[in-house]
Amino acid sequence: MSQPTASTPSLRSEAGAASANKAREKILKKHSRVNLSDDGEVEYWTERLGVSEKELRKAVREAGFIPADVADKLGKTL
């Protein structure tokens, strides 16, 4: 059995990536749209994306309410 190298991910890193993907899917399921009329949602997305409310509102105006589109507009990842 070979040892994992930088180019060969370990099972631990694969499990971590799978876990991160599941967590991301859960978040996006709960927050499937950016709802600017809910203060809690605005707070969630500004913290999640690391932007101000003004930046978030502008991105939603330009990209729509889909979180991935808003993140792309802001140059952020979810």
Task: Tell me how many domains the chain contains.
Answer: 1
Domain interval for residue 47: 32-78
Query: Among residues 12, 45, 17, 72, which one has the least CA distance to residue 3?
Result: 12
pLDDT at 13: 65
The predicted pLDDT at position 9 comes to 54
Residue 45 domain flag = yes
| Whole-number pLDDT of residue 47 | 95
Q: pLDDT in tens for each of the 78 residues of the chain?
A: 555 555 555 555 677 777 766 766 666 667 789 999 999 999 999 999 999 999 999 999 999 999 999 999 999 998
- Cα–Cα distance measured from residue 38 to residue 24, given in angstroms and rounded to the nearest whole number: 21
pTM of the model: 0.65
Nearest residue to 60 (alpha-carbon basis) of 72, 50, 48: 72
Answer whether residue 50 is part of any domain. Answer: yes
Residue 3, in any domain of the structure: no
24 belongs to a structural domain:
no
**Alpha-carbon span 70 to 28, nearest angstrom:** 13
Is position 43 within any domain?
yes
